[in-house]
Amino acid sequence: MPQGSSQVPHRVVVIVDEGTNPFEVGVATELFGLPRPELGLPRAPYEVTLATPAPGVRMNHGFFTLTGVPGLDAADAADTLVVPGRPDNVVPRGPAVLDAIRRAHARGARVVSFCTGTFALAEAGILDGRRATTHWMWADAFRELHPKVQLEPDVLFVDEGGVLTAAGSAAALDLGLHIWRRDHGAELANAVSRRLVFAAHRDGGQRQFVERPVPDVPDESLGPLLAWAQERLHEPLTVAGLAARAAVSPATLHRRFRAQLGTTPLAWLTGERVALACRLIERGEERLDVVAARSGLGTAANLRARLRSGTGLSPSAYRRRFGPAPGEALKP
């Protein structure tokens, strides 16, 4: 069953340090702090607490001062600890903040950074030898300061199990929805993304946002083609067929996917089919051949391989974790 079925909400604590970006604090509270009656859950699956190292903390550029917030001791009760970014990330964090991060990690809490919050996790020493990401503008500075971290500058987020890092402020939404998927399955994550009016999964990496000259004739949007394909995932779609639908050559289609999504047409198509397979399993479909056929993955063997590659779980393990309770009707 989804983790949201627990009687105790998952406790998310957000460390708000001097100069923290308020947008990323807002992302954490929007994703994890609001009740979600539209999901039909008996209670909110998460509860959010802010924690500050001082009674009054000035936000980025002094936009406002945050007061009346619990101190860093609140971080000791976190199931997930979130560390947003701040613009002066090359300035070391205070020892109290770093100690709170280390304590959380040492006792097994999930530790998450948004944007340049990755600098704080690296300063705390919990990223050494791990993969991580941060905003592309600060990649060189990060490598110089933290050479023991395996920086991946081209992705939107990195999931290392107990430590997760997001590339930029907006990528915090991508990572947050990924956490929803990891905790509660694709169906609920998609519902949250619809409420946010934000893509449940952006296939590209942050390389598509790195500064580069604007082309004289920009490519047309892939939106109509993607919507058309998503309605036909059960059909034998091919890259050549997608290119024909878009009235371009396969080579041009590849260039557009790389430029606009940071991925290939085939990788995007496979990801969409795996996501559909996950939703079918969550809705109660137990026949693997039916799931494979309706999602366009073809065979049960291919379904097993793709699901394990995409989620780390076999179909049966995914069903146990995210499927309906015994006796529940198949969702429409």
DSSP strand pairing (46-51 vs 157-159):
unpaired
Structure tokens at 193: 């993304």
- Residue 309: CB atoms within 10 A of its CB come to 10
* First CA to last CA distance, the chain: 19
Rounded Cα distance between 186 and 201, Å, is 10
pLDDT one-digit tens code per residue, 197-230: 666 555 544 443 333 333 333 446 788 898 899 9
Provide the token pair at 283: 């809705």
Measured CA to CA, the distance from residue 19 to residue 57 in angstroms comes to 8
Q: Where in the chain is the domain with CATH 1.10.10.60?
A: 222-332
- 289: its two tokens: 């051949």
8 — pLDDT class (breaks 50, 70, 90):
confident
Q: What does the pLDDT average to over 154-164? A: 90
CB-based contact 80:99 (threshold 8 Å): no
- Give CA–CA dist 143/151, Å, rounded: 7
* Mean pLDDT across 148-160: 89
> Residue type at 176?
G
Q: How many residues in total does the chain contain?
A: 332
Q: b/e for 37-61, b at 16 or more Cβ within 10 A?
A: eeeeeeebbbbbebbbbbeebebbe
Using DSSP's 3-state secondary structure scheme, residue 131 falls into strand
User: Residue 160 has what DSSP assignment?
Assistant: -
Q: Where in the chain is the domain with CATH 3.40.50.880?
A: 3-196
Lookup result for tokens 């993955």: 297
Architecture of the domain defined by 222-332: Orthogonal Bundle (1.10)
Per-residue confidence (pLDDT) for residue 123, from 0 to 100: 96
Distance CA 92, CA 83 (A): 14
Res. 330: pLDDT tops 70 = no
- pLDDT one-digit tens code per residue, 26-67: 999 999 998 887 787 778 899 999 999 999 999 988 889 999
Q: Which two tokens stand for residue 191?
A: 């519902």
* Residue the block writes with tokens 């169906």: 187
The token pair that represents 235 in the structure block: 């059909």
Cα distance between residue 200 and residue 329, in whole Å: 25
pLDDT tens sequence across 241-291: 999 999 999 999 998 888 777 789 999 999 899 989 998 998 888 899 999
**pLDDT (tens digit, 9 = 90+) per residue, 85-97?**
988 877 888 999 9
Least confident of 128-132, 290-294, 307-311: 307-311
The CATH number of the structural domain formed by 3-196 is 3.40.50.880
The string of DSSP codes covering 116-149 is THHHHHHHTTS-TTSEE---GGGHHHHHHH-TTS
State how far the alpha carbon of 132 is from the alpha carbons of 54, 117, 123, 135, 290, in Å: 28, 11, 13, 11, 37
Closest CA relative to residue 24, chosen from 37, 14, 34: 14
Question: Any residues with CB less than 8 A from the CB of 310 and at least 6 apart, and which?
Answer: 271, 274, 278
Average pLDDT score over the chain: 85
Residue 237's pLDDT band (boundaries 50, 70, 90)? very high
Q: How confident is the model at residue 4 (pLDDT cuts 50, 70, 90)?
A: very low
